[in-house]
Structure 1
């Protein structure tokens, strides 16, 4: 109550409120959906194709190894009742060793694939961020968000970014 008796404070608060409203009208916000960029941009599709080509041979070898292990395991299950105890133990140990080797190779494959995927996605993201900056500067955006709980579709500039990203050679 005491502050309302000071007229200069009321005038100052009113001016600040009016000034902040004028600035808020000029403030432009945009949103970019990075998941869509990773799915739809030509650079992301090229990176995905590159990864598939790079890892397809190893993936096929791993699938063949897994199929062979499954076949050997099924054969062991069928033949186990007729095998001598020493043969059964020997084949079971061999299957366990094969499975351990298969799991190791599968884990190495997944680690290598994830590392390469992260490298490729980082390159796509770096390019996309450069394009986002260009679009923001050209269209005079004050803030571009890449993650949000909710965004009004009128602020989504993902299509512009994908179009500009695809135009870059």
Structure 2
């Protein structure tokens, strides 16, 4: 009887070992899962849509940028002139001109902040438009290639799974 029990335990042990060897693939994630990767910054920098957006923003903000640059140059010139002339001008005039320069500088800084905020807002809006189109392109590529997961900006991706260039081509083909 002891022999029968020990042989059952041996059989049970062999079955357990065989199961341990063969079952992990059954419990593991489906081996057919297809993964791809996309470099978002490359899409935002190299697609025709992104380049057109960048040109549009440059044209839209060029006038304000030039005005700010000219104002800064005028303030700098006025400050240099005040430094040169301050020794020979009356105290009241010097103080008045220093106040005027300080006011002009504060106004310039306010305009620079507004410019930066407006530019960032418009840049965000344009990038959102590109991202929307890029997501549509990604979905099409995923459907065509039967990709289950697309990872955005991975630390490393084998070039075989990188679909960035395909996304750029899809965006470039849009009107």
TM-score by length of 1: 0.89
- C-alpha root-mean-square deviation of aligned residues, in Å? 2.1
Number of matched residues?
166
Structure having the higher Rg: 2
Equivalence for 1:88: 94
Q: Any stretches of 5+ residues in structure 1 without a counterpart?
A: none
Indicate the residue corresponding to 1:35 in structure 2: 41
What's the counterpart of residue 52 of structure 1?
A: 58
Instruction: Name the counterpart of 1:133.
Output: 139
Q: Measure the CA separation in 1 of the matches of 2:171 and 2:18.
A: 49
Deviation at 1:17, TM superposition (A): 1.8
Distance in 1 between the 2:84 and 2:136 partners? 61
Match status 1:16 vs 2:39: no
Match of 1:103 in 2: 109
1:163 alignment partner, one of 161, 165, 169 = 169
Q: 1:146 is matched with which residue? A: 152
Note the alpha carbon deviations across 1:52-78, whole angstroms, 9 max, x for none.
111111111111111111111111111
1:79 alignment counterpart: 85
Could you list the runs of 5+ residues in structure 2 that have no partner in the other structure? 1-8
Q: What is the distance in 1 between the residues matched to 2:29 and 2:22?
A: 11
TM-score by length of 2: 0.86
Change (3 A) 1:22 1:67: closer
- Of 118, 122, 127, 1:116 maps to 122
Give how far 1:21 is off: 6.3
